[in-house]
């Protein structure tokens, strides 16, 4: 039976993990902001249609 060893991978510094986490957080936050803006535009157009 063959034994498969994991390749040697360099460890990341704590700063790299922190930077990746920050980028993911910013991307998710921007998604929520975009969804909020889209929803407000949609509800504004719907309100205009109801008024007219």
Total number of domains constituting the chain: 1
Is 40 a domain residue?
A: yes
Planar angle of CA 7, 9, 12, nearest 5 degrees:
165
Is 22 a domain residue?
A: yes
Tell me what pLDDT residue 1 has: 67
Is 44 a domain residue?
A: yes
Check whether 5 has a pLDDT greater than 90. Answer: no
Give me the domain span that covers residue 37: 15-52
Is 35 a domain residue?
A: yes
Is 10 a domain residue?
A: no
Is 34 a domain residue?
A: yes
Tell me what pLDDT residue 46 has: 86
Q: What is the pLDDT of residues 15-48, one digit of tens each?
A: 999 999 999 999 999 999 999 999 999 988 888 8
Is 9 a domain residue?
A: no
User: Taking the model in full, what pTM does it have?
Assistant: 0.66
Q: For residue 48, give Cα distances in angstroms to 20, 22, 38, 52.
A: 42, 39, 16, 6
Is 33 a domain residue?
A: yes
What's the CA gap between 10 and 36, in Å, rounded?
A: 40
């Amino acid at each position: 039976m063959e034994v498969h060893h994991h390749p040697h991978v360099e460890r990341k510094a704590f700063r790299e993990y922190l930077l990746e986490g920050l980028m993911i957080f910013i991307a998710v936050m921007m998604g929520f902001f975009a969804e909020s803006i889209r929803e407000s535009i949609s509800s504004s157009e719907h309100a205009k249609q109801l008024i007219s």
